[in-house]
Structure 1
C-alpha cells in the first residue's frame, strides 16, 4: 500500500476523478444522502490517500485553519474496506500532515457519531453535543497536539 500526499494542483485528473467517485459512492450513494459533495474546499486541501494496484483504497483531506474551522481540520475520511486498519493508518498520516504542513496545535473534525470510537482511538475528544448534518448524526471532536 502506497501513501500519497498531494495538494489539489498536484493531483492528476485521474486521481481527482477517483477521489470524487469514492467520496460520492460512499457519502452520497451508500449513505443515501444527497448533498453537495463538491464543496469548493478541495482546492485548499492536502489530499492524503492509500493506494494499491486496484486504485485508491482510503482517502481524507486536510484543510488549513480558516477554511472549515478556525483550526486545521480533517475531513472526508473514507476507506473502501472498513475494519481493516487502513482507516487508522490514514488518519495518523492525516494528523502528521496537519502537524508538518500547517503547524497545527489542534485539529477539529466533524465526525459521524457512529465513528466516535474510531477517532477516540487516535486521541480525538468529543467537543459538542450530537447534531444532524444532512440528516446524519454528527459530533465535533478535537485533537490537541
Structure 2
C-alpha cells in the first residue's frame, strides 16, 4: 500500500473528502464548510494507492501558518494518514519565509492526536459549527 501526501490543485477531490467527513458525517453546514477561503489556500491531498483518503487546507496569516480542514475518511482513520498529512503541512509551512508559528482549531476529541504531534492547547473550549473546539499551536522558533 502506497500513501502519498502532496500539494494539489485538485479542489474537487479535497471538497469531496471534506463533504464526506464534515458535512455528511459531522453535520457541518455547507455554508460553514465552503467558506470562500479555498482560493487563497494551499491544499494537501493524501492518496492511498492512488485513491483520495485525506486532505488539509493551509492558510498564511502573517507569521502564522493555519492548518485546517484536516479530514481523513472514517475507514482509513487510525492508520497514520492524519499524522502524515500533518507532517506534510508542517513541511510546507516551515518552507514559507517568515512563518514562525503553526495554529489549528482542534475538535476536542482530537486534542490527544495533535498533542502527540507536539501541539499545545491554549484558551477556552468554544463551539465551531456545533462541535467543541480548542485552539492549538506549535512554535517553529528554535
Tell me the TM-score range normalised by the shorter chain.
0.7 to 0.9
Matched, 1:114 2:109: yes
Matched, 1:79 2:81: no
TM-score by length of 2: 0.87
Alpha-carbon RMSD across the aligned residues, in angstroms, is 1.6
Q: Which runs of 4+ in 1 moved over 3 A?
A: none
TM-score by length of 1: 0.86
Of Structure 1 and Structure 2, the greater strand share is in 2
Of the structure 1 ranges 38-47 and 95-104, higher mean CA displacement relative to structure 2 is found in 95-104
Matched, 1:90 2:90: no
Structure 1: segments with no counterpart, 5+ residues = none
Q: Name 1:18's counterpart in structure 2.
A: 13
For residues 120-145 of structure 1, what are the alpha-carbon distances to aligned partners after superposition, in whole Å with 9 as ceiling and x for unaligned? 11111001111111111000001111
Q: Is contact 2:66–2:103 with CA below 8 Å preserved after alignment? A: yes
Measure, in 2, the Cα distance between the counterparts of 1:29 and 1:115.
19
Q: Is contact 1:64–1:102 with CA below 8 Å preserved after alignment? A: no
Q: Is contact 1:47–1:61 with CA below 8 Å preserved after alignment? A: yes
The DSSP-based 3-state class of the residue aligned with 2:15 is: helix
Tell me the number of residue pairs that the alignment of Structure 1 and Structure 2 aligns. 135
